[in-house]
Amino acid sequence: MSREMRFTDPGEGIHEAEVVEIMVDAGSSVEEGDSVLAVETDKATTELPAPHGGRVEDIAVEVGDRIQVGDLLLTLAGDDAGDAGDDHGKSTGGAEDDAPGTEETGDRDGASTGDKATEQDRKRRRKGPVPAAPSTRRLARELGVALETIDGTGPGGRVLDSDVRAAAESEETEPEPQSAERDEAAQAEQPAGERKPAPQRRPVPAYEPPDFSRWGEVERVPLRSVRRATAWEMARAWAEIPHVMHHDRADVTALEHFRRDNAEEVEAAGGKLTLTVLVLKAAAAALRAMPRFNASLDADGETVVLKHYCHIGVAVATEQGLLVPVVRNVDRKSVRELAVELTELSRRARDGELTREEMQGGSFTVTNVGGIGGRLFTPIIRHPEAAILGLGRAELTPVATGDLDTPAVYARLLLPLCLAFDHRLNDGAEAAQFVNRMRGSLQDPESLLLAV
């Protein structure tokens, strides 16, 4: 009896995903609960378990395919793994029995090859998903290594990047048929009529782009995973939210001295004391005083949702793209607690280990390009939040003080600030007051220590 496995609704308003890994082959046997596919939904990678056991009869998707709820993923034959073959097949894995040299009583000439195949098959059939970070899985796909054939050296048998690289260099590792890059290239080279159509998430553009190949060689590659999700969300936010930008600079000279004086103590606790951490505390104080910047406009367009919590998202640049983990209850935590938590969240973001829950529920966002290089920029609000704060590079700047008759010039460390806000919820005057409150906190480090 054949049964279909389809992509079920993962909830939280998600309707599509991208196939990033296929963990089984046609003809292989699986048990109920075995991971058979890995898919990426927006910014989180999830392994899909088999709903029941059996032999994989057909795989209906390929790596790189975009699937929607209800799409067929694969077909399983048999009620469970044991029903997939006869009693003899249960002990040897089914179809592999016909291969010469793989049985215990087979030819001695084929014993070496048979032992190798048996060992790799044993590893492939281990119950449950292989413990590995998404970044490690991505590395394995790029190097053509099957994770199931690796014995992880990390805690609890977790497969590490070093394990994957070692396996790639070993002659005993069975390579995958082709890497993720080749999969994408092959998909792009397929005739349009044979390619799996991508689901439409937004209306088709009102214009027809020109044939760019008229002017030279071009390459067409799909917009994938995080970059695709970012493109959709940013286009939606820009189209639906009337943005206004308020710019200012904060004198963080004293704050930088405070940061340096306390950096070692925070590092000993497992965190990294950065300007971003201190800005989070200043932002929390301003949000508490001016809650309409911590709000959202309801779907009816006539109701303001005031949030009595302060969950601030922090943009983190990763190899996958821009991810925004959310730090909960910023207004209730000390600077040291925030430093430790943000350090761990940032690491997990770069390693691809964040869950969807850790990137949801934000009420305000902070994004800092100063560490990469950028004097100033204007960020786009994350829908459905009311505002986002962009930080530029803090620079020593000559600042004139005094009056026209007795001016004086000093070198001060100035931090550029850009508050992008939803003009439906706040006006320019409120934005100026909000940034002024932040400037006051940043220029007075003692106030940040007291804000717990």
What distance in Å separates the CA atoms of residue 311 and residue 330, rounded to the nearest whole number? 6
Position with higher pLDDT, 447 vs 303: 303
Position with higher pLDDT, 350 vs 116: 350
Instruction: Find tokens 């190798």 and name the residue.
Output: 116
What distance in Å separates the CA atoms of residue 127 and residue 123, rounded to the nearest whole number? 9
What distance in Å separates the CA atoms of residue 277 and residue 340, rounded to the nearest whole number? 10
Position with higher pLDDT, 83 vs 307: 307
Q: Return the pLDDT at 93.
A: 38
pLDDT band at 107 (very low <50, low <70, confident <90, very high): very low
| Domain 228-450 = CATH 3.40.50.620 | no
Are the C-beta atoms of 283 and 330 separated by less than 8 Å?
Answer: yes
What distance in Å separates the CA atoms of residue 435 and residue 413, rounded to the nearest whole number? 17
Position 204 pLDDT exceeds 70: no
Name the CA dihedral angle for 159, 160, 166, 167, rounded to a multiple of 10 degrees.
30
Token pair in block for residue 24:
């089984």
Active site residues: 423
Question: Under 8 Å CB-to-CB from 233, ≥6 apart: which residues?
Answer: 382, 383
What does CATH list as the number for 2-129? Answer: 2.40.50.100
Are the C-beta atoms of 174 and 123 separated by less than 8 Å?
Answer: no
Q: For residue range 128-145, list pLDDT tens digits in order.
A: 557 776 667 777 777 878
**Ramachandran angles phi, psi of 308, nearest 5°:** -95, 40
Are the C-beta atoms of 426 and 292 separated by less than 8 Å?
Answer: yes
The helix-helix angle for 253-268 and 275-289 (nearest 10°) equals: 110
pLDDT band at 178 (very low <50, low <70, confident <90, very high): very low
Position 430 pLDDT exceeds 80: yes
Q: For residue range 225-265, list pLDDT tens digits in order.
A: 788 888 888 999 999 999 999 999 999 999 999 999 999 99
Within 10 angstroms of residue 239's Cβ, the number of other Cβ atoms is 9
Position with higher pLDDT, 129 vs 318: 318
Per-residue three-class SS string for the chain: CEEEEECCCCCCCCCEEEEEEECCCCCCEECCCCEEEEEEECCEEEEEECCCCEEEEEECCCCCCEEECCCEEEEEECCCHHHHCCHHHHHHCCHHHHCCCCCCCCCHHHHHHHHHHHHHHHHHCCCCCCCECHHHHHHHHHHCECHHHCCCCCHHHCECHHHHHHHHHCCCCCECCCCHHHHHHHHHHCCCCCCCCCCCCCCCCCCCCCCHHHHCCCCCCCCCHHHHHHHHHHHHHHHHCCEEEEEEEEECHHHHHHHHHHHHHHHHCCCCCCHHHHHHHHHHHHHHHCHHHHEEECCCCCCEEECCCCCEEECEECCCCEECCEECCHHHCCHHHHHHHHHHHHHHHHCCCCCCHHHCCCCEEEEECCCCCCCCCCCCCCCCCCEEEEECCCEEEEEEECCCCCCEEEEEEEEEEEEEEECCCCCHHHHHHHHHHHHHHHCCHHHHHHCC
Average pLDDT, stretch 336-364? 94
Instruction: Give the start-to-end residue ranges of the domains of the chain.
Output: 2-129, 228-450
What distance in Å separates the CA atoms of residue 135 and residue 316, rounded to the nearest whole number? 15
Q: For residue 325, is it left (φ>0), alpha (ψ between -120 and 50) or beta?
A: beta
Indicate the range of 32-46, 129-143, 210-224, 290-304 predicted with least confidence: 129-143
Strand partners, 145: 175
Task: Tell me how far the alpha carbon of residue 328 is from its chain's centroid.
Answer: 18
Q: Looking at this protein, which amino acid is placed at residue 339?
A: A
Token pair in block for residue 112:
């070496």
Q: Return the pLDDT at 330.
A: 97
Task: Tell me how far the alpha carbon of residue 319 is from its chain's centroid.
Answer: 9
